[in-house]
Structure 1
Amino acid sequence: MSDTLYIDRLRKTYGTLRALDDVTFSVAPGEIFGFVGSNGAGKSTTMRIILGVLAADSGQVRLGEKPIDFDRRRRIGYMPEERGLYPKMKVGDQLTYLARLHGMSRADAEASARTWTDRLEVGTRYDDNVADLSLGNQQRVQLAAALVHDPAVLVLDEPFSGLDPVAVDVMSDVLKDKAAQGVPILFSSHQLELVERLCDRVGIISRGAMTALGSVDELRTRDGNVLEVAGPDPSYGWADALPGVLAAEYTPEVTRLRVSPDVDDQAVLTAALAHGPVHRFAAAPPTLTELFRELV
């Protein structure tokens, strides 16, 4: 079982620009953590500090209870947003070389390179130069480079960028398998539907500060639950004074109600039926994409 990855009160400034402002979260063993934000929000800076590529002005990154040092950093599998592969080097030679840098024997490194290229469906390109691969296949090899040394932690910056749906499914299965083995996984992505589907918890960062943190369900209901009612004439304003209704939005097609967690939904349904037939009555919390637009 791997240790928990702790990111504790990270701060980083560039002149007058505060890139990170007390960024704090953790990724538990077996957890897939989605790290989302707009371009320039601080995601890559956080990841580079975890890897030691950048130094924080203050704060700490720990693996378990100990700060990450050189030896512990070798246990991390990292996939940068910018492809970091040698374009004129063969796929297999490159993965073997990277695995050996992490302390694997040549035999183990070659076996692992074969395993991961086959698993990520680029095994037929094992003896090709990286530059001769499509961008999608280069992305698969980049993920193989993060996995080839059997890391205890995965930190992946936009791993699904540029992938077709089949490749997305392959990578998703790999991440779920690694999480099932107890590996903490931190990844960033702009594909919020994918984050919503894959992740146990999500952190939203904006202008260097964490603005939301929790499970997808917790985030989607953080400002109250949402009920959608199709049927009553919205001109009545029938829900405005109901107990537990925090806000009401009326359109010709549907009434959307933001309600408190303890609202009596049967009382809401009864009030709706008093104004006419109800064709649909359902909970409809915002998607992660809608929430992201509200927060960022």
Structure 2
Amino acid sequence: MELRQIRAFVVVADEASFTRAAARLSLVQSAVSAAVRNLERHLGVELFERTTHHVHLTQAGRLFLPEARRTLAAAQEAQHVIEQMRGGLRGEVRLGVIQTPRHIVAQPALLISTFRATHPGVTVSVQAAGSVEHAEDLRRKRLDIAFVILPPEATPGLDMYVLTSEKLQLLCHAGHPLAGRDQVGLGELVDQPFVDTPATWGNRLATDAAFARAGLTRKIAYEIGDAAGLASLVRHGLGVAIGPMSFMRPEDEIRAVPLGSDAPSLTLSLAVPAGQAVSAPARALLRTARELSEPAR
């Protein structure tokens, strides 16, 4: 049994496809198929049910998968121990980043530069997407660690490390009729045109869940995947938004109005896959991020 065979099996299981697994491993499909066949021959069982269009784990494959992951993680950890002994931590961390409130640790350049000052032998690759995409990529082992803003019900299969949490507020332009209020209820906003982020973003998930809990619906007039663009639309009076004031800059001239007891919260966390060893470089990056977050708490 060879590590390359185990790695091929795990990637095929993650991708549910020999073709996608081959692309991810930068190999030809025949090499991946041969590696899995040789592993099955060595184990004396079939690990996958193969049809023309689908690849599914057999019962033996489902039992073997967690052990295969642990084997790969242990091999990687052993390599990191030797590398540290030879002069420092080495390897790669795949980091997922999102557009976030202006929280110090959520600035990828600051986090990476601080981390690299201590661990120059580790490469950090960055992937930008929404929280839902990052959660799925973590589960499928396409990322090692990611910033996410997700409600608890959207985090199965992940271990979460909370960095900061903030109550969301109504954001409107200075001349809006609600701008001078001390507090606004969600029920007063159902007829307002909303500016919001895409459906897979944490801010949107939290807001949608709050309206659903209240049995209310709202009208989203503009959907935009950019905090600065959202602020611009609100500033020009094209709609209101619900979000953290830390999304905004002083020059945006936007008013924040508390939403009261039914206000949703935005919780920024770092997530890693649950139930398996986190690589030494990823653990070190997580430690750096949590240290950076301390002054902001």
Give the TM-score, by structure 1 length: 0.27
Give the TM-score, by structure 2 length: 0.26
Which structure has more helix as a fraction of its residues?
2
Which structure has more strand as a fraction of its residues?
1
